[in-house]
């Protein structure tokens, strides 16, 4: 157990104790107890940053968990995990701080729940990024889904919260299940290991396996659902029902990036395949485009941010796909050409976390102070909330990709990457590649538009106090600290991007593209603001121009049908699917669970005959042995005839007492057969039982009416007759074959033993009785137990009557 293990486990441990603190110190906001934890963890992880440059050595510690299944809790810290761990703990600290002021410590506010979920999430997320073992990663992965759902439903009295929680849970967990299957396939392909590093070390061999594609698809399903890629993104806007600190933390900065993390982590494994490239690029760009267009339609500030996040996640995903192309070039060229995409991905990841975090917090403040997030009601807040305004402006500009903020830099790199990729000569990029920068550009235009829109509709225009339920003023300082810090980072990283270069970006890139640095050499990331007037810059200028044009004409756009609906049309598919799932399940269930004993018996009989006969004829089992069939005494034939006749009459008899008399006769005849076949004890028992049974029937008749007449339904009757006939035929055929096989085989029954030993060893001459009380005494003991239970049961049935709600 290393300290790194403790980094993962610490939040869980804290989660156990937190409720006690909550109940013990109700007057102190629970968040304060929590705050030091992410901070300490952040500082601890930060100690691994290679401030001196030159990349970092990966750290690995293993604790055995379920070694027999290949599951070990191995923490692995390299550049990529470190970057994520810093994001999780860093933003985590800020979010906790923010939440202390955001969620008031009111008596009926279950802060303990909130922070326990948050801690669970934090631990789980750290677990995801620090685990080397795929299954452990999966374990934490599902825990993030769980805690996310719980956080979304924190205000579970709201219908929408419950809806959002259910949706996010279903989609992300389903994806998780697929991912688990993918991991399992990977385990099989890689020769029974779940260790990511071991799998990466065999990457070249693995790609040759035919199972690699299904494995990849399944794993990507997990990544895409988690990272809200089209068309699985629909859960994310609904997740905005969570308290805003949660949105800022989970649903923009960290959890939704788990998919990104996984894709980056597995790039060395899958990156060599064309499918990886195309799937990531196509889904990424589609998500980017779809998200940015959808964001424009939103009127809820958090809705805009949600779709914005969707679109930015698509961007990063697409970048990772493009970056994988570098693996094909063995990094021979020192040009940044091949790794720009990956660098952009990592850089934008950081940038997005900062500016989106700031924006979410700002929106939270607006919501908190004004009581609304509806852009139709908001307006003119610039003067009333100057600090919030400033932070928002910085965040929005970064999001729109304007200089000098960090978003601009990564956006530029993104354009570079798309242009680079379009010129590659692999994966048919010569022809198809041209679409990539075009889509990227269009999406950027819309990104600009919604950023612009957020700005104008919230902060500019006229302030109308009648739109608000309370008096609007600037937020308290505590609430502002976190967004200010994030906003400052946006500016800082925008102005001094190379602060991140060798500390965070380079180590991360080494993890994503392991061959990027030749042995013994270093790899330097340098990010510049000014590359001269190049295509990328022109593209940015065009984005601004077109964006302004659209933004100014937004009213016209808004009239188009597509922009009328705020909800994503894909939701209809989801809702319909879920509805139908229930409805169709009900149909299927009601169809076969009819409550009719007759139907159940019919189904079961058909099944028995069907499967039985199939088996029977599959093996050509029919076999009849005619030996020893002669010499049947006439009286026996008559008795058997009488038995069969009485039996066949039974279904046609509709008076219960006649039925019973017939039953009595049949019982007597069966006893007679026992006599004929030399089974005196059986005959006696049969007779006695039969008689007692008859008396019982008679006693019961007193309490019951004449039996129900079957309604005339010839079809049903025919079906019943056919099926029961088939059961009979099945029994007969099998019986005949067993009889024949028995005659052929030389199996000696164990009964010889009883014949030999009954007298000498058991002291009885009646072998049946000796078997009953001695050789198989247990059977007898139990059979009378059955009788005893039945009798007590009958007493209970008759005398014990409850109405049904006395107990549970």
Partner 1 sequence: MIQITAQITLVLLAVSILLCVIRLVKGPCMADRVVALDTIGLNLIGFIGLIMMVQQTILYAEALLIIAILAFISTVSFAKFLEGGVVVDRNGSSR
Partner 2 sequence: MNNIVLLPVLIPFIAGAVLILFRHFPKLQRISSAVVMLVMLAASVLLVYSVYQDGILTVELGNWPAPFGIVLVGDLFASLMVLLSSITGVTCLFFAFQTITKEREKYFFYPFYFFLLTGVNGSFLTGDLFNLFVFFEVMLISSFILIVTGGTKFQLRESYKYVVINIFASMMFLAALAYIYGLTGTLNLAHIAQQIEEIGQTGVVNTAAIMLLIVFGIKGALFPLYFWLPQSYYGPPAAIAALFGGLLTKVGVYAIFRTFTLIFVHDISFTHTVLLVLAALTMVLGVLAAVAQFNFKMILTYHIISQIGYMIMGLAIFTPLAVAGAIYHIAHNVVVKSALFMFAGATQKITGTNNLKEMSGLLKTHPALAWLFFISAVSIAGIPPLSGFFSKFALVLSGLEAEMYVIVAVALIVGVFTLFSMMKIFIYVFWGSPSLQRSDYSHIKLAPLLMPIVPFIVLTIAMGLFAEPVFTFIQLTADQILDPSIYIDAVLGE
Partner 3 sequence: MEILMIFTSGIIIAVATYLFMTRSLLRVAFGVVMLSHGVHLLILTLSGLETGAPPLLTENAEAYTDPLPQAVILTAIVISFGVTAFLLVLAYRTYKEHGTEDLEELRGNADE
Give the integer Cα–Cα distance in Å for 135 and 199: 13
Q: Check whether the bond before 32 is cis (ω within 30° of 0).
A: no
Q: Which residues contact 403 (CB under 8 A, 6 or more apart)?
A: 494, 529
Residue 657 binding: pick among partner 3, partner 1, partner 2, none (C-beta 5-8 Å cut-off by kind): partner 1
- Does 702 bind partner 1 (CB under 8 A)? Our answer is yes
Q: Which of residues 514-533 bind partner 2 (CB under 8 A)?
A: none
Q: How many CB atoms lie within 10 A of CB 757?
A: 14
Residue 552 binding: pick among partner 3, partner 2, partner 1, none (C-beta 5-8 Å cut-off by kind): none
Q: How far is the CB of 156 from partner 3 (least distance, A)?
A: 25
Q: Which residues contact 296 (CB under 8 A, 6 or more apart)?
A: 446, 449, 450, 453, 554, 557, 563
C-alpha closest to that of 149 among 128, 125, 173: 173
Among 17, 20, 25, 600, binds partner 2 (CB under 8 A): 600
Q: Which of residues 7-36 bind partner 1 (CB under 8 A)?
A: none
Nearer to partner 1, 213 or 679 (CB): 679
Length of the chain: 808
Give the integer Cα–Cα distance in Å for 591 and 584: 10
Site string for partner 2, 566-595 (x = CB under 8 A): ---------------xx-xxx-xxx-xx-x
Nearer to partner 1, 495 or 657 (CB): 657
Residue 695 binding: pick among partner 1, partner 2, partner 3, none (C-beta 5-8 Å cut-off by kind): partner 1
Give the integer Cα–Cα distance in Å for 273 and 427: 9
Q: Which residues contact 744 (CB under 8 A, 6 or more apart)?
A: 625
Maximum CA extent, the chain = 116
- Does 607 bind partner 2 (CB under 8 A)? Our answer is yes
- Does 803 bind partner 2 (CB under 8 A)? Our answer is yes
Structure token pair of residue 718: 């025919």
Q: How far is the CB of 751 from partner 1 (least distance, A)?
A: 18
- Does 174 bind partner 2 (CB under 8 A)? Our answer is yes
Q: How far is the CB of 381 from partner 3 (least distance, A)?
A: 52
Residue matched to tokens 């991912």 = 179
Spell out the long-range contacts of 657-660 with Cβ–Cβ below 8 A and sequence spacing 24 or more: 657/701, 659/707, 660/694, 660/697, 660/698, 660/701
Among 173, 272, 350, 353, binds partner 2 (CB under 8 A): 173
Nearer to partner 2, 212 or 445 (CB): 212
Helix (H, G, I), strand (E, B) or coil at 545: helix
Q: Which of residues 676-735 bind partner 2 (CB under 8 A)?
A: 731, 734-735
Among 132, 142, 536, 690, binds partner 1 (CB under 8 A): 690
Site string for partner 2, 618-657 (x = CB under 8 A): xxxx-x----------------------------------
Q: How far is the CB of 683 from partner 1 (least distance, A)?
A: 5
Integer-rounded Cα Rg, in Å, for the chain is: 38
Give the integer Cα–Cα distance in Å for 324 and 444: 22
Q: Which residues contact 347 (CB under 8 A, 6 or more apart)?
A: 406, 409, 410, 413, 497, 500, 505, 527
- In this structure, what DSSP letter does residue 377 have? T
- Does 69 bind partner 2 (CB under 8 A)? Our answer is yes
Give the integer Cα–Cα distance in Å for 224 and 282: 12
Q: Which of residues 640-679 bind partner 1 (CB under 8 A)?
A: 641-642, 645-646, 649, 653, 655, 657-658, 661-662, 664-665, 668-669, 671-672, 675-676, 678
The C-alpha angle with vertex 731 and arms to 726 and 735, in degrees rounded to 5, equals 145
Q: Check whether the bond before 231 is cis (ω within 30° of 0).
A: yes
Question: H or E element: which one contains 59?
Answer: strand 59-66
Residue matched to tokens 């609430």 = 479
Which region among 180-188, 256-264, 265-273, 461-469 touches partner 2 (by CB under 8 A)?
Answer: 180-188
Which region among 165-173, 266-274, 333-341, 540-548 touches partner 2 (by CB under 8 A)?
Answer: 165-173
Residue 197 binding: pick among partner 1, partner 3, partner 2, none (C-beta 5-8 Å cut-off by kind): none
Q: In Å, what is the CA distance from 215 to each residue of 48, 276, 279, 370, 737?
A: 33, 11, 14, 49, 49
Residue 807 binding: pick among partner 2, partner 3, partner 1, none (C-beta 5-8 Å cut-off by kind): partner 2
Nearer to partner 3, 70 or 667 (CB): 667
Q: What is the DSSP string of 202-234?
A: THHHHTTSTTHHHHHHHHHHHHHHHTT-TTGGG
Among 87, 97, 178, 361, binds partner 2 (CB under 8 A): 178
Q: How far is the CB of 614 from partner 3 (least distance, A)?
A: 19
Q: Which of residues 71-110 bind partner 2 (CB under 8 A)?
A: 71, 110
Q: Which of residues 737-796 bind partner 2 (CB under 8 A)?
A: 737-739, 741-742, 745, 747-751, 753-754, 774-779, 782-783, 785-786, 789-790, 792-793, 795-796
Q: Pairing relation of β-strands 59-66 and 71-77? A: antiparallel
Sign of the dihedral defined by the CA atoms of residues 166, 171, 173, 177, in that order: positive
- Does 185 bind partner 2 (CB under 8 A)? Our answer is yes
Structure token pair of residue 36: 């030091």
Residue matched to tokens 């005849």 = 669
Residue 181 binding: pick among partner 1, partner 3, partner 2, none (C-beta 5-8 Å cut-off by kind): partner 2
Site string for partner 1, 602-641 (x = CB under 8 A): -------------------------------xxx--xx-x
Residue 671 binding: pick among partner 1, partner 2, partner 3, none (C-beta 5-8 Å cut-off by kind): partner 1
Helix (H, G, I), strand (E, B) or coil at 195: strand
Q: How far is the CB of 669 from partner 2 (least distance, A)?
A: 19
- Does 184 bind partner 2 (CB under 8 A)? Our answer is yes
Among 169, 280, 318, 382, binds partner 2 (CB under 8 A): 169
Q: How far is the CB of 794 from partner 1 (least distance, A)?
A: 15
Q: How far is the CB of 663 from partner 1 (least distance, A)?
A: 10
Which residues sit at the interface with partner 1, rule CB under 8 A?
633-635, 638-639, 641-642, 645-646, 649, 653, 655, 657-658, 661-662, 664-665, 668-669, 671-672, 675-676, 678, 680, 683-684, 687-688, 690-691, 694-695, 698-699, 701-702
């Amino acid at each position: 157990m290393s300290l790194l293990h403790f980094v993962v486990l610490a939040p869980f441990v804290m989660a156990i104790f937190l409720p006690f603190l909550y109940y013990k110190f109700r007057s102190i906001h629970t968040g304060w107890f929590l705050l030091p934890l992410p901070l300490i963890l952040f500082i601890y992880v930060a100690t691994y940053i290679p401030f001196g440059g030159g990349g970092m050595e990966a750290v690995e510690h293993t604790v055995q968990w379920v070694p027999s299944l290949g599951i070990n809790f191995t923490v692995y810290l390299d550049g990529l995990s470190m970057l994520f761990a810093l994001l999780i703990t860093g933003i985590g600290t800020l979010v906790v701080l923010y939440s202390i002021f955001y969620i008031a410590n009111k008596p009926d506010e279950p802060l303990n729940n909130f922070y326990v979920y948050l801690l669970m999430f934090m631990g789980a997320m750290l677990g995801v990024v620090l685990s080397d073992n795929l299954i452990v990663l999966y374990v934490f992965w599902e825990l993030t889904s769980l805690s996310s759902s719980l956080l979304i439903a924190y205000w579970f009295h709201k219908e929408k919260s419950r809806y959002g929680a259910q949706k996010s849970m279903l989609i992300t967990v389903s994806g998780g299940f697929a991912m688990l299957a993918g991991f399992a396939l990977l385990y099989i392909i890689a020769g029974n290991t779940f260790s990511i590093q071991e799998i990466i070390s065999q990457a070249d061999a693995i790609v040759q396996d035919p199972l690699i594609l299904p494995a990849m698809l399944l794993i990507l399903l997990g990544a895409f659902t988690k990272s809200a890629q089209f068309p699985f993104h629909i859960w994310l806007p609904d997740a905005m029902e969570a308290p805003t600190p949660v949105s800022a933390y989970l649903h923009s900065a960290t959890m939704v990036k788990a998919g990104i993390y996984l894709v980056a982590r597995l790039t060395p494994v899958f990156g060599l395949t064309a499918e990886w490239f195309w799937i990531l690029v196509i889904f990424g760009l589609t998500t980017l485009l779809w998200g940015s267009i959808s964001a424009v339609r939103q009127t809820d500030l958090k809705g805009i941010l949600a779709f914005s996040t969707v679109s930015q996640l698509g961007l990063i995903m697409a970048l990772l796909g493009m970056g994988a192309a570098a693996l094909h070039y063995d990094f021979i060229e020192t040009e940044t050409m091949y790794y720009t995409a990956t660098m952009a991905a990592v850089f934008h990841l950081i940038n997005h976390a900062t500016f989106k975090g700031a924006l979410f917090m700002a929106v939270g403040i607006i919501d908190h102070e004004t009581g609304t997030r509806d852009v139709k009601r908001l307006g003119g807040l610039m003067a009333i909330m100057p600090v919030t305004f400033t932070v928002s402006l910085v965040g929005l500009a970064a999001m729109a990709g304007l200089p000098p903020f960090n978003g601009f830099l990564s956006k530029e790199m993104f354009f570079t990457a798309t242009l680079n990729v379009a010129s590659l000569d692999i994966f048919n990029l010569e022809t198809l590649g041209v679409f990539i920068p075009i889509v990227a550009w269009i999406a950027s235009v819309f990104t600009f538009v919604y950023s612009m829109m957020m700005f104008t509709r919230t902060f500019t225009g006229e302030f109308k106090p009648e739109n608000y339920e309370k008096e609007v003023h600037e937020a308290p300082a505590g609430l502002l600290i976190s967004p200010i810090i994030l906003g400052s980072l946006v500016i800082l990283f925008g102005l001094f991007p190379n602060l991140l270069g060798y500390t965070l970006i380079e180590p991360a890139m080494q993890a994503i593209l392991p061959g990027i640095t030749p042995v013994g050499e270093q790899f330097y990331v340098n990010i510049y603001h000014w590359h001269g007037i190049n295509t990328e810059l022109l593209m940015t200028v065009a984005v601004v121009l077109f964006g302004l044009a659209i933004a100014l004409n937004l009213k016209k756009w808004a009239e188009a049908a597509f922009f009328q609906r705020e909800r994503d049309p894909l939701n209809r598919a989801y809702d319909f699917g879920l509805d139908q799932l229930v409805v169709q399940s009900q149909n299927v269930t009601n169809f076969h669970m009819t409550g009719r004993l007759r139907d159940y018996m019919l189904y079961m009989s058909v099944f028995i005959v069907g499967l039985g006969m199939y088996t029977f004829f599959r093996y050509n089992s029919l076999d009849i042995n005619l030996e020893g069939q002669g010499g049947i005494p006439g009286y026996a034939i008559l008795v058997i005839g009488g038995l069969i006749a009485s039996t066949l009459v039974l279904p046609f008899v509709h008076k219960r007492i006649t039925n019973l008399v017939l039953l009595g006769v049949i019982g007597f005849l069966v006893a007679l057969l026992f006599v004929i076949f030399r089974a005196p004890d059986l005959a006696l028992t049969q007779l006695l039982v039969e008689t007692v049974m008859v008396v019982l029937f008679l006693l019961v008749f007193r309490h019951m009416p004449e039996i129900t007449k079957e309604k005339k339904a010839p079809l049903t009757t025919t079906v019943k007759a056919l099926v029961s006939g088939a059961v009979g035929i099945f029994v007969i055929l099998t019986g005949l074959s067993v009889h024949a096989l028995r005659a052929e085989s030389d199996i000696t029954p164990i009964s010889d033993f009883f014949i030999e030993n009954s007298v000498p060893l058991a002291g009885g001459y009646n072998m049946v009785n000796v078997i009953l009380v001695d050789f198989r005494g247990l059977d007898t003991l139990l059979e009378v137990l059955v009788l005893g239970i039945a009798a007590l049961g009958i007493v209970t049935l008759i005398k014990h009557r409850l109405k049904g709600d006395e107990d549970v």
